[in-house]
Amino acid sequence: MQISRYRIKLSRLKHIFISHLHGDHYLGLVGLLSTLHLRNRVEDLYIFGPAGLSDIITVHLRYAEMVLGYQIHFKSLDSGNSEVLVDNDSIYISSIPLDHRIPCTGFLFREKIKYHRLKKSNKLKNLTLEEIHTLKSGRNVMGPDETIKYSVNEYTEPPRKARAYAYCSDTRYNEDIIPYIKSVDLLYHESTFLGDLEQRAYETYHSTARQAASIALKAKVEKLILGHFSIRYKELYPLLSEAIDVFPNSHLAVEGQQISIDH
């Protein structure tokens, strides 16, 4: 329903990442899979989630006697270890072990930038397409006598910095995640409670706003988004305020908001 509300094209959906099997984190999935089928999807879909998710999807489809018109590739997550989930030319995605009441993982999305950027220059018009490709790939163009014909440093600038986003859903305060999320541009971290309920956060395997900000600070991330607020808080500003005291570039997650990461 939210995908529809925010006019996200279902055809752009290729991978789905489910952190854990509490209802507020996945109960819309089976309906989404049915909708994709009814909209005549044929492209493969990749789903990453706890092992039980495959059973859950299977039991729903079995009783509906429904055979999806597209194929699901399901990868069962190991909540105890970080795993590489996707590694292609454009992106690297891995899991982050979290500390929750049931098996739970976060996800790290790291962009890959392959190409150097050509410097604007009149000399470019002398180059062949193959030579330009060599330079953009970060290699010098060599002459017939093994000398450098065109230097990558002279003709190009290095690739822009690749962007990284880490999504850490339900978790206790856990410094073990810091190596995984080190220096990411954007960190989403749950922030269920205010600091005065730190004990309650511990008991329910959640974090306080201060703890989320502390993780952001220690991991030297660029920007922090707080979310997953307890319904007890009618006013969210105190959660934001508490986080900002520790990590100034903190923000509240707002349903439907788009956040750009620019360099």
Q: Which residues are catalytic?
A: 24
The binding track of 36-75 with respect to a copy of itself, each residue x by CB under 8 A or -, is --------------x-xx-xx--xx-xxxx----------
Least separation, in Å, of the C-beta of 67 and a copy of itself?
Answer: 12
- Tell the smallest beta-carbon distance from residue 62 to a copy of itself (Å): 7
Residue whose CB is less far from a copy of itself, 31 or 69: 31
Choose between 65 and 130: whose C-beta lies nearer to a copy of itself. 65
For residue 11, what are the contacts with CB-CB under 8 A and spacing of at least 6? 41, 43
Nearer to a copy of itself, 26 or 247 (CB): 26
**Binding status of residue 200 toward a copy of itself by CB under 8 A:** no
d(CA 201, CA 172): 7
Give the residue with the Cβ less far from a copy of itself, 7 or 62.
62
Residues with Cβ within 8 Å of residue 57, at least 6 apart in sequence: 29, 30, 33, 47, 72, 74
Q: Which of 154, 148, 142, 89 is nearest to 118 (CA)?
A: 154
Those residues whose C-beta lies under 8 Å from the C-beta of residue 101, and which sit 6 or more positions away, are 204, 205
Binding of a copy of itself by 22 (CB under 8 A):
yes
Dihedral pair phi/psi, residue 75, rounded to 5°: -115, 120
Q: Under 8 Å CB-to-CB from 23, ≥6 apart: which residues?
A: none
Cβ proximity of 140 and 152 under 8 Å = yes
Shortest distance in whole angstroms from residue 45 CB to a copy of itself: 16
Binding residues (CB under 8 A) for a copy of itself: these are: 21-23, 27, 30-31, 34, 50, 52-53, 55-56, 59-60, 62-65, 101-102
